[in-house]
Structure 1
Amino acid sequence: IMAHPLGFYSKQGLNVSVTKTAGWALVRDKMINKEYDASHFLSPMPLAISMGLGSNATPMNVATIQNINGQAITLALKHKDNRDPKNWKGFKFGIPFDFSMHNFLLRYYLAENGLNPDTDVQLRVIPPAEMVANLRAGNIDGFLGPDPFNQRAVYDEVGFIHVLTKDLWNGHPCCAFGTSTEFIQKNPNTFAALYRAVLTAAAMARQPKNRELIAKVIAPSQYLNQPEAVLNQVLSGKFADGLGKIQNVPDRADFDPMPWQSMAVWMLTQMKRWGYVKGDVDYKAIAEKVFLITDARKHMKDLGMPFTAGPTYAKHTIMGKAFDAAKPDEYLKSFAISKVA
């Protein structure tokens, strides 16, 4: 978003319209129908669309991860003395979309605490902008949503931040910038210019000193339509938690654009774990086809940005457990709660 008001697209010779879209299923449909050229995606969406999960199979690519961390489990204030997830049987939770890190992280967290996310709780797909209203109305007990909506629930005094997703998996991907494989093939120069604009924005957003300006330019109604104070709390990491404390977590949200293929493999293991995909999954082939880490490195190098060289897979730790992308089937078999027989 910030690349638009700050002129990063126009500096690359691009005429870009940034269009607000009501819900992720609509984003998917508009990308498949070529109504949009490129999009801000939930990072698992290009994998799901490429595989034909929930839609016709259309090859999509992740060019960069837009942000890492930047999510939380937010609960209604009436639950502030009920912080143990083992007591959450029967709770109703909002998630933005089935193919989202929000859904996968919430399911992971619940299952690690002994709850089956398919039978012990209800998960409801709610557009993030409507999550706070649903919490206020008592339609849900909580949500695992993207920021700034967790902070907005605190600001509106209807919820509190139970846990930042950073504390479940520090450095986890959140959203991604991507487009269709066809668009890249047909418009290589336009795609390269888009890549440069988005990476330039990421480099600026990584610097804490720029966060206040970013909050200011993305707050208006044509963008996030949120109070600047809410965005400042999220981006600075100095925030009210809704429980009477001010927390200071500078990397609550960060902007590391590296589209690690190991992240894609993890997402695929969770799709398999919860029955979104049946049968054998060629994890490596799908991850390497969809997540363009080699391209990201090339463009980062050209822009003089620091990047991690070497393998295209990284090691990740989720809730204290190491994930080795080379052994996805072993990882899947290690869970007590899953849909995989």
Structure 2
Amino acid sequence: MTTNLRIAFLPLTDVAVLAVAQERGFAEEEGLSLDLVRTTSWATLRDRLVYGQVQAAHMLAPLAVAVTLGLSQQPAALAAPYKLNVNGNMLVMAKDFAAALDPDLAGRLADPLGTAHDFAAAIGLWRRKPVIGVVHRFSSHALMLRYWLASAGVDPDRDVVLRVLPPSLTVEALHAGEIDGFIAGEPWGSAAVEAGLAETVAVGERIWRRGVEKVLAFRQNWMEENPETVDRLLRALVRAAAWCDEPDNHSALADLLAAPRYVDQPADLIRRALAGEMVNRAGEPAIPNPDFMLFSREATPFPWRSQALWIYSQLVRWGMVEHSADSAARAGAVFRPDVFRRALAGSDVPMPGASMKLEGAVHSPLAVGSRKGDLTLGPDRFFDGRVFDPERIGDYLAGFVQLR
């Protein structure tokens, strides 16, 4: 008997693994049929999951933590046993604003710290306090943007305006002059660049390499009550993710995602992110960025609890939640490596032996202990060189300069 699952998603390139699991038969081979429910905004997607309209969701990782902590509308305990991707977002700004930055795009993207200081200087030259679109207050993009701006002394709550709007409306808002730039997952940054409205200023992959992006989120009680179904879904997603990461499949994947039922944007724009061949200024050659978005390799799907705790640390840093042992424990428990290991126990998928690590400590490919097979982790460095120890959150936060 086939089990039907309703899963909410937003039209973004990083829905790839879910789309491929359904369209290429990986879900069917596990006895599943996925009803992928296209949703416009993260707030709507959140509500569909919390109120039981869907069983799972393609969700911003910080939003899963925020909902669990009661920071975003109706509180509910969510669980994320699978990461759908790492990286895949970028900050684009109107061409007039970008003109005040280093004109060498390759140099601009390769030096996020220097570019942050250029950005800080450009704020003083701009005609108003810059309005930057973010897709949700509790998004990886918004937290990375805050982190990046603060490195140059920019207070994201005082020196710029962060305006929330759905990813699919970012380009339209930029064209209308309602915002001066935005940070969002692909393909929306590329769409703004292709339209000649913006230039790329920074990419998430250069702010936090292998930074957590989207997760597969469940209501915790539903996940605990349906372990066999969850395990089958995770096994299908692992196989789909491996297919997505294969370069030979990128053209077919871009064509699939370009369909109206998924992203509904030109296949070429979508393919750029998949291949890491990003055009950052209209009419110029692509700048290679092979790690722009990852789905499978280097244990990408594994839900490190330390990454949930880094998200938590940023929520504390910006006054969104008060630090306590209980809050930290609940935040860390959103990511469920135990469920991932259970689901893949009978497979040959390499899995880390630990559930937490020092985030930002890997500067070059590193072979690590794995419960099955060989596993090499890629660099996970933060652009400012900081290392996050999940067992010393207070010390980590004390190391940041207070902006106000």
TM over 0.5: yes
1:206, distance to aligned residue in structure 2 (A): 2.5
Q: In the alignment, which residue of structure 1 is the partner of 2:281?
A: 242
Give the partner amino acid of 2:219: S
Distance 2:354 2:158 in 1: 42
Question: Residue 303 and residue 153 in structure 1: after superposition, are their counterparts in 2 closer, same or farther (change >3 A)?
Answer: farther
Instruction: Say whether the 8 Å CA contact 2:193–2:200 is kept in structure 1.
Output: yes
**Secondary structure of the structure 2 residue equivalent to 1:118:** coil
Alignment of structure 1 residues 85-234 onto 2, 5 Å: 85-86=119-120, 87-88=122-123, 90-234=129-273
Q: In the alignment, which residue of structure 2 is the partner of 1:330?
A: 395
Question: Residue 307 and residue 207 in structure 1: after superposition, are their counterparts in 2 closer, same or farther (change >3 A)?
Answer: farther
Distance 2:55 2:388 in 1: 34
Instruction: Say whether the 8 Å CA contact 2:82–2:303 is kept in structure 1.
Output: yes
Question: Residue 43 and residue 132 in structure 1: after superposition, are their counterparts in 2 closer, same or farther (change >3 A)?
Answer: same
**Secondary structure of the structure 2 residue equivalent to 1:176:** strand
Scaled by the length of structure 2, what TM-score is found? 0.80
Structure 1 portions without partners, runs of 5+: none
Q: In the alignment, which residue of structure 1 is the partner of 2:105?
A: none
1:299, distance to aligned residue in structure 2 (A): 2.9
Q: In the alignment, which residue of structure 2 is the partner of 1:294?
A: 338
Distance 1:82 1:294 in 2: 48
Instruction: Say whether the 8 Å CA contact 1:300–1:306 is kept in structure 2.
Output: no
Q: Deviations over 1:45-76 (max 9, x none)?
A: 12111111122321110111111111111111
Alignment of structure 1 residues 28-39 onto 2, 5 Å: 28-39=46-57
1:210, distance to aligned residue in structure 2 (A): 2.2
1:79, distance to aligned residue in structure 2 (A): 1.9
Give the partner amino acid of 1:15: S
1:281, distance to aligned residue in structure 2 (A): 4.6
Choose the corresponding residue for 2:38, options 2, 10, 20: 20
1:313, distance to aligned residue in structure 2 (A): 2.8
1:321, distance to aligned residue in structure 2 (A): 1.4
Instruction: Say whether the 8 Å CA contact 2:171–2:191 is kept in structure 1.
Output: yes
Instruction: Say whether the 8 Å CA contact 1:297–1:309 is kept in structure 2.
Output: no
Q: In the alignment, which residue of structure 1 is the partner of 2:318?
A: 274
Q: Deviations over 1:73-98 (max 9, x none)?
A: 11112223222111225110011111
1:166, distance to aligned residue in structure 2 (A): 0.8
65-74 or 244-253, which deviates more: 244-253
**Secondary structure of the structure 1 residue equivalent to 2:349:** coil
Instruction: Say whether the 8 Å CA contact 1:69–1:254 is kept in structure 2.
Output: yes
Give the partner amino acid of 1:263: Q
Q: Deviations over 1:298-335 (max 9, x none)?
A: 43443322332234334323222111111111111111
**Secondary structure of the structure 2 residue equivalent to 1:226:** coil
Q: Deviations over 1:271-304 (max 9, x none)?
A: 1111111252536522442111122234344332
Distance 2:73 2:62 in 1: 14
Q: In the alignment, which residue of structure 2 is the partner of 1:8?
A: 26
Scaled by the length of structure 1, what TM-score is found? 0.94
Q: In the alignment, which residue of structure 1 is the partner of 2:14?
A: none
Distance 1:75 1:272 in 2: 28
Question: Residue 207 and residue 258 in structure 1: after superposition, are their counterparts in 2 closer, same or farther (change >3 A)?
Answer: same
1:37, distance to aligned residue in structure 2 (A): 0.5
Instruction: Answer yes or no: is 1:48 the counterpart of 2:87.
Output: no
Distance 1:138 1:336 in 2: 33
Distance 2:287 2:21 in 1: 29
Identity %: 29
Question: Residue 325 and residue 279 in structure 1: after superposition, are their counterparts in 2 closer, same or farther (change >3 A)?
Answer: closer
Give the partner amino acid of 1:16: L
Distance 1:161 1:185 in 2: 42
Structure 2 portions without partners, runs of 5+: 1-18, 102-117, 361-380
Instruction: Say whether the 8 Å CA contact 1:301–1:307 is kept in structure 2.
Output: no
Instruction: Answer yes or no: is 1:318 the counterpart of 2:371.
Output: no
Distance 1:314 1:178 in 2: 24
Instruction: Say whether the 8 Å CA contact 2:304–2:355 is kept in structure 1.
Output: no
Q: Deviations over 1:126-181 (max 9, x none)?
A: 10011111111111111111111111111222111111111111100111111011
Instruction: Say whether the 8 Å CA contact 1:203–1:305 is kept in structure 2.
Output: no
Instruction: Say whether the 8 Å CA contact 1:58–1:180 is kept in structure 2.
Output: yes
Give the partner amino acid of 1:59: A
Q: Deviations over 1:235-292 (max 9, x none)?
A: 1111211163420111111111111111111100111111111252536522442111
Question: Residue 338 and residue 64 in structure 1: after superposition, are their counterparts in 2 closer, same or farther (change >3 A)?
Answer: farther
Distance 1:281 1:151 in 2: 41
Question: Residue 119 and residue 152 in structure 1: after superposition, are their counterparts in 2 closer, same or farther (change >3 A)?
Answer: same
Q: CA RMSD in A?
A: 1.7
Give the partner amino acid of 1:112: S
224-233 or 278-287, which deviates more: 278-287
241-250 or 163-172, which deviates more: 241-250
Q: Deviations over 1:89-140 (max 9, x none)?
A: 5110011111111110001111111110001100011100111111111111
Distance 2:119 2:391 in 1: 31
Q: Deviations over 1:184-208 (max 9, x none)?
A: 1222221112111222222222322
Corresponding pairs, count = 339
